[in-house]
């Protein structure tokens, strides 16, 4: 017997932005509006391969938009495994991420090829899509156990070597990576973790790309994982930005850590990021499978680090199991911007927003409570109740 699909509906949820900075207002009501929704489209690989740069980037960005907006739509299936705090926490984190600049936004693997090409005078519209896909794969292979900023330095070095020493005006291409000696490559990427092993993997991989993948990157997760040094996280992220294929969630250490902290996955069952990926994919709305990575990675880089958390700036500090209450007790926005040395991002806009909210919020004026609208597609009949109780 074939199980009929439940129809999806669009749900608009208003989430109150609250913080330990502000006097508490009553919990807001959740308004629900329904209308039809559409599934994520299936990309045409042959068509993508034939695209020029402008058309290619527009097509890929249609399903992997890196502009994080608090009102972006996502789909919630009728799934009892969805944590009761997911809508509340994720909506607030998305709002925060829309106002902070993080390393992943500029030198994360997806943006790094565009950023590096621009440094060498190659505009986005002049990057050959095949070169972008290769450079994306290389940046992902270098990124393991390496900060984005260090990864960017290594990619810059290789790009410079390919242009100046190998005479390739396009920089990192399949031809230049086939030509570069492994020792020379190792020297240029020695700032990243396990650089010698990664140099070997890259050299072996480009040969496989030439011989088995028609000189381009793979189009399936199985193809990516056939390359040495490439695991599921790299493969799924590469598929997303190379081919607009949303086949899985890219789970790195930040996504893994935050999902466990918020009890979105069972820490006892999820011993590795791969375990976390599989459990998240069992309930996370598919329309979030791309954006959840940059949203949580940037949040984990700048506001919720493993050490040195900024709980005093976080909207989730009233419901987060990992909150450090000592930080809330000493938080004083009006005494100056709480900026510390070594910050990896810029949250000036976010701090300004909090200050403005603090000035506008009064204990007896509910009308001044600030709400941010988050549109959610859902077939869940109890979203309203669960959101109010989360």
Q: What are the pLDDT digits (tens) for 342-358?
A: 577 888 899 888 888 87
List all residues 6 or more positions away from 4 whose beta carbon is below 8 Å from its beta carbon: none
Q: How far apart are CA 327 and CA 67, in angstroms?
A: 30
Sign of CA dihedral 69, 75, 81, 84: positive
* Entry pTM: 0.81
C-alpha 45: how far from chain center: 23
Q: Which residues pair with 74 in a beta bridge?
A: 376
Indicate where the chain has its CATH 1.10.340.30 domain(s).
105-251
- Dump pLDDT digits (tens) for 36-68: 333 445 789 999 999 999 999 999 998 898 888
List all residues 6 or more positions away from 138 whose beta carbon is below 8 Å from its beta carbon: 155, 158, 172, 177, 202
Q: How far apart are CA 294 and CA 313, in angstroms?
A: 19
Q: Which CATH class is domain 105-251?
A: mainly alpha
Mean pLDDT of the 209-214 span: 98
Angle (CA) 47 202 105, round 5° = 65
- Dump pLDDT digits (tens) for 111-142: 999 999 999 999 999 999 999 999 999 999 99
Given the residues 198, 233, 241, 245, the one annotated as active site: 241
Place of tokens 């790009």: 159
Whole-number Cα distances in Å, 139 to 25, 122, 239, 300: 46, 17, 14, 20
341 is catalytic: no
Task: Report the share of the chain in percent with pLDDT over 90.
Answer: 65
Which of 111, 98, 100 shows the shortest CA–CA distance to 68? 98
**Coil, helix or strand at residue 11:** strand
46's tokens: 């042959």
Is the pLDDT at 6 greater than 60? The verdict is no
> Exposed, middle or buried, 125 (CB in 10 Å: 0-12/13-18/19+)?
exposed
Whole-number Cα distances in Å, 121 to 117, 155, 174: 6, 15, 20
Q: How far apart are CA 126 and CA 139, in angstroms?
A: 19
């Amino acid at each position: 017997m074939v199980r009929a699909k439940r129809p999806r509906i669009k749900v608009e949820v208003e989430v109150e932005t609250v913080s330990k900075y502000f006097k508490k207002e009553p919990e807001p009501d959740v308004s629900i509006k329904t209308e039809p929704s559409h599934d994520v489209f299936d990309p045409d690989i042959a068509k993508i391969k034939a695209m020029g740069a402008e058309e290619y980037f527009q097509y890929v960005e249609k399903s992997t938009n890196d502009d994080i907006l608090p009102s972006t739509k996502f789909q919630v299936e009728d799934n009892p495994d969805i944590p009761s705090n997911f809508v509340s926490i994720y909506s607030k984190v998305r709002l925060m991420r829309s106002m902070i600049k993080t390393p992943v936004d500029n030198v994360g693997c997806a943006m790094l090829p565009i950023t590096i090409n621009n440094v060498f005078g190659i505009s986005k519209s002049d990057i050959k899509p095949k070169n972008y896909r290769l450079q994306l794969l290389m940046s992902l292979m270098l990124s393991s156990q390496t900060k984005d900023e260090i990864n960017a330095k290594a990619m810059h070095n290789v790009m410079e070597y390919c242009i100046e020493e190998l005479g390739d005006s396009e920089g990192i291409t399949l031809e230049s990576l086939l030509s570069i000696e492994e020792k020379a490559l190792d020297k240029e990427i020695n700032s990243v973790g396990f650089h010698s092993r990664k140099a070997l993997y890259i050299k072996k991989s480009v040969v496989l790309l030439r011989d088995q993948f028609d000189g381009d990157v793979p189009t399936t997760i199985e193809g990516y994982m056939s390359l040495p040094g490439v695991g599921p996280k790299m493969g799924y992220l590469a598929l997303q930005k190379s081919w607009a294929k949303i086949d899985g969630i890219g789970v790195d250490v930040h996504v893994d850590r935050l999902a466990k902290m918020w009890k979105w996955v069972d820490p006892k069952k999820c011993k590795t990021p791969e375990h976390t990926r599989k459990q998240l994919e069992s309930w996370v709305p598919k329309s979030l499978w791309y954006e959840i990575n940059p949203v949580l990675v940037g949040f984990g880089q700048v506001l919720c680090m493993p050490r040195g958390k900024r709980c005093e700036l976080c909207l989730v500090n009233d419901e987060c199991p990992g909150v450090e209450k000592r930080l809330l007790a000493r938080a004083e926005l009006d005494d100056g911007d709480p900026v510390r040395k070594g910050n990896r991002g810029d949250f000036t806009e976010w701090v300004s927003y909090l200050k403005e909210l603090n000035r506008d919020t009064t204990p007896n004026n509910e009308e001044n409570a600030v709400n941010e609208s988050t549109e959610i597609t859902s077939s869940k009949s109890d979203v309203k109740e669960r959101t109010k109780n989360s």
